[in-house]
Amino acid sequence: MINFKDVLRQLIRDVRSEKLRTFLTVFGIVWGTVAISLMLAFGTGLHKQLVKATAGLGDRIVITWPGLTSIPFEGLGKGRRIRLRDEDLAFVRTQAAGLNAISGEYSKNLRIDYGAKTMSADCSGVDAEFGSMRNLIPQAGGRFIDAIDMAQQRRVVFLGNDLAGDLFGKGGGRSQDHPPVPEAVGKTLLINNSPFLVIGVLIKKDQDSSYSGPDEGKMFIPSTTYRGITGEKYVDNFVFQAAQSDKTKQVIQNVRTALAHRLRFDPKDKEAISAWDTTEQFQFFDIFMLSFNAFLGLIGVLTLVVGGIGVSNIMNVVVEERTREIGIKMALGARQHFILMQFLMETLVVTALGGAVGFIISLGICAVFPKFGFGEYVGDPVVSPVVTLLTAIALGVVGLVAGYFPARDASRLDPVVAMKL
């Protein structure tokens, strides 16, 4: 049987006798491993960052606006303005199949007074479900609007982190990832001369798109309270979320059909109710990044193959140098498969050694990279289990192919001829 210790001992002898050759061989594998693992790691990190930034707008939501009809319907001409009340959305909530959550949104720029500070900010009147759909996550110690706030028309406000920072200083939210909130939560400010209690501050989040400005500079109050202080009757837009994201297209049609039945317009009229389906962005990123990662992986594999070619060439040289040794072993009874497995194992050991060193280097780079602060733009590289598995498979295939042909040539040597060389 093949003794791994003997293989390792022989490998150590080869390393000592040909240090430069062995170093260059291992370096080729190290370089290939670093290339494939880092490319996939950066691809994975970029994908996560794109999804994170897109999710800053909302968790696979649909933003919808009432507009003007573009198709005549039941004797009513086109160009008729569609106006939505809260009661209409309550009807949709009960009639549209596949709906997980829905919230109207009233929007207006309102005046804020706190102490000697006076400013204006975008204010949205929303329902309790709005926070989870739009990923409006409060900092520790605070909360978002809840059902009791809605039912009792409480005068409570949830602040964007930048707006809180402007009102209460840096401790209120600006320029920090996880700032303390005691300076904001529990304080009372005036919105259009009405006192409002601050119940929460938005945690700093990545948001690369919006439809009325970034959330960090906004404030959110219960829609029932909003209607009370402004007198508004009609929502500016509404946001909803499908129970299953892959069924969003059907849910959009269900919502449009329910409203068409209630407000009398053609269910096929997309101008009457315009919809922005953000799930399409997630689907695009998934497909794009899958292709992008496949391309990066291919480049890495090709780099690793170049290293494998170097290993194969070196093993051919080793076989030539040890031809006499191989002939003696075969003359003493060593079978072909023994010689084949011996050289194949030596190749795999070299490949594994280079792969291990490459992985260590890759992990080190991935650990250090976030400290440079580029994660907001390109994401932080992640050596995920998938990346590890794919790299290990590529290493194994390259090692087997690189070692097989030199090992096969060694096993087929004629013992008599080999001992004379």
How far apart CA 408 and CA 339 sit, in angstroms, is 8
pLDDT score at 124: 95
What's the token pair of residue 53?
């930034």
Q: In whole angstroms, what is the distance from residue 215 CA to residue 152 CA?
A: 25
Q: Give yes or no: residues 362 and 394 share one domain.
A: yes
Q: What mean pLDDT do residues 163-190 have? A: 70
User: Residue 372: CB partners within 8 Å, gap ≥ 6?
Assistant: none
The answer on 147 and 254 residing in a single domain is yes
- SS3 (DSSP) at 165: helix
Report pLDDT digits (tens) over 318-356.
777 777 777 777 777 767 777 777 777 777 777 888 888
Q: What is the 3-state secondary structure of 336-349?
A: HHHHHHHHHHHHHH
| Per-residue pLDDT at 179 exceeds 50 | no
For residues 167 and 305, state if they share a domain.
Answer: no
CA distance 160 to 173: 8
Question: Which residue type occupies 163?
Answer: L
Average pLDDT over residues 150-158: 96
Mean pLDDT computed over 386-402: 80
- Indicate if the alpha-carbon torsion angle 378, 383, 389, 394 is positive or negative: positive
What is the domain range of residue 145? Answer: 61-277
- Pair (81, 197) in one structural domain: yes
Percent of the chain residues topping a pLDDT of 70: 90
Coil/strand/helix, residue 322? coil
Of 262, 277, 292, the one marking the end of a domain is: 277
Q: Are both 267 and 176 inside the same structural domain?
A: yes
| % of the chain beyond a pLDDT of 90 | 41
Task: Report which of residues 137 and 55 the model is more confident about.
Answer: 137
Residue 8 CA to residue 4 CA, distance in Å, equals 6
* 367 plus 386 within the same structural domain: yes
Q: What is the mean pLDDT of residues 376-396?
A: 78
The residue from 218, 247, 277 where one domain ends is 277
pLDDT, position 4:
59
- Model confidence at 174: pLDDT above 70: no
Question: What is the Cα–Cα distance from 53 to 379, expressed in whole angstroms?
Answer: 10
* Cβ pair 346, 403 in contact under 8 A: yes
Instruction: For 158-185, give one letter per residue: b (16+ CB within 10 A) or e.
Output: bbbbbbbbbbbeebbbbeeeebbbebbb
Comparing 83-97, 153-167, 179-193, the range with the smallest average pLDDT is 179-193
Per-residue model confidence (pLDDT) at position 62: 94
Task: Write phi, then psi, for 200 (nearest 5 degrees).
Answer: -170, 160
Tell whether 264 and 384 lie within a shared domain.
no
Whether residue 303 is predicted with pLDDT greater than 90 in this model: the reply is no
315 residue type, one letter: M
Task: Out of 248, 277, 306, pick the residue that ends a domain.
Answer: 277
Of 92-106, 130-144, 352-366, 407-421, the poorest mean pLDDT is in: 407-421
Q: Is 150 in the same domain as 252?
A: yes
Query: In angstroms, how far apart are the furthest CA atoms of the chain?
Result: 104
Do 103 and 212 share a domain, yes or no? Answer: yes
Of the candidate ranges 18-27, 245-254, 399-408, the one whose mean pLDDT is the lowest: 18-27
**How confident is the model over 265-295, as pLDDT tens digits?**
999 999 999 999 998 888 888 888 888 888 8
What's the structural domain count of the chain? 2
The pLDDT tens digits for 194-252 are 999 999 999 988 887 788 888 999 999 999 999 999 999 999 999 999 999 889 999 99
Same domain, yes or no, for 42 and 70?
no
Q: Within this chain, do residues 249 and 325 fall inside the same structural domain, yes or no?
A: no
Identify whether residues 74 and 207 lie together within a single domain: yes
DSSP string, 171-235: GGTTT-SS---TTTTT-EEEETTEEEEEEEEBPP------SSS-GGG-EEEEHHHHHHHH---S-
Q: Per-residue confidence at 300, pLDDT binned at 50, 70, 90?
A: confident
Contact 201, 139 (CB under 8 A): yes
- Can you tell me the distance from the alpha carbon of 165 to that of 56, in angstroms, rounded to the nearest whole number? 19
Tell me if 123 sits within 8 A of 108, measured CB to CB.
yes
